[in-house]
Amino acid sequence: MKKIFSGIQPTNVIHIGNYLGALKNWVALQDEGEAIYCIVDLHAITVPQDPKILKEKILETAALFIACGVDPSKATLFVQSSRPEHSELSWILNCFTGMGELKRMTQFKDKSGGDQDNVTAGLFDYPVLMAADILLYQTTHVPVGEDQKQHIEITRDIAQRINSKYGETFTVPEPIIKQSTARIMALDDPSKKMSKSSPNASSFIALTDTPDQIREKIKKATTDSGSEIKSSPTGEKPAITNLLRIFSGMTGREIPDIEREFEGKGYGEFKNALAEAIIEELEPIHKKFEELMADKEALHQILTQGSQKIAPLAQETLNKVKEKVGLGI
């Protein structure tokens, strides 16, 4: 039986890159095995956060998961910091991880912007906490976007290292990366990944954007030279390729089918149809999100129950590791 684990940080806004690259797959996978989905607030504090906003975002993120189709009666939802086993296992795994391995992580290099002395040790150590999240639940599959592939590889390396030193301790997990939507690019610059932390709000479409905001952002989205609505998997037309991938992800239609529909038509017509397709997919999500946010008590309860449900598994793995390493009395 598949054991699925994934997480999203409760920071900024969840955008259509997160939705197509990760969340949509989470929903599909909850019917294929035991799924555990986590709001990774400990990861969020690796960069400065306003405490009041962070708390509010944790609930909003839970509401968005459910609004997007994660069903709390099928999948377990919980907040990372509510289970102390994550931090504890993370410390132990730190002692089995090399500085050199962490220095090679491209996300750390990107996020520290070359100024490694002025970011937190938490940001450097971020992949080890992520490894703890995954390994604690003996996860078999981790649905993520392309940017997290290297973090799953280091998780596998750490698990294999401990397994070969102490005998079978952890399940070695596999990533699930849906290639067509694994890396949705920024609307203002198709050479950059669509990112929550971008200072330019026009670079992403948030799941909570209004229809007018969506129309405006798609209208402004960068396009390539020429006027053909045709993708180029080899990279000469990165902007239109990205817009076609978004169109396909939102509607479930194949890219060649969309290209045929817009043959001989211009960007204007294509962009109008794309904006409407996004609005149509997001409308029920907005509605559900508003309903869920109106009953915060119910959201608290879902998250508390989720955390209690998975406690025995987290404790079992942690105790096993402590025993093998020789910790405790």
Round to whole Å and give the CA distance between 233 and 245: 11
22 close to 143: Cβ distance less than 8 angstroms? yes
Per CB under 6 A, which region of 31-39, 181-189, 227-235, 238-246 contacts ligand ATP?
181-189
Contacting residues for 67 by C-beta, under 8 A, at least 6 apart: 207, 285, 286, 288, 289, 292
Cβ 305 to ligand LTN shortest distance, Å: 21
| Start-to-end C-alpha separation, the chain | 35
Per CB under 6 A, which region of 1-9, 109-117, 263-271, 304-312 contacts ligand LTN?
1-9
Round to whole Å and give the CA distance between 69 and 285: 8
By a kind-dependent CB cut-off of 5 to 8 A, residue 197 interacts, out of ligand ATP, ligand LTN, none, with ligand ATP
111 is catalytic: yes
- Does the annotation flag 11 for ligand binding? yes
Among 3, 4, 7, 193, binds ligand LTN (CB under 6 A): 7
Number of residues that bind ligand ATP (CB under 6 A): 18
136 close to 3: Cβ distance less than 8 angstroms? no
- Residue by residue, DSSP assigns 163-188 as HHHHSS-S---EEE--GGGSSPBPSS
Residue 231, interface with ligand ATP (CB under 6 A)?
Answer: no
Tokens of 315: 């404790």
Residue 159, interface with ligand LTN (CB under 6 A)?
Answer: no
Residue 134, interface with ligand LTN (CB under 6 A)?
Answer: yes
Nearer to ligand ATP, 126 or 262 (CB): 126
Binding site for ligand LTN (CB under 6 A): 5-7, 9, 40, 43, 130, 133-134, 142, 144, 148, 151
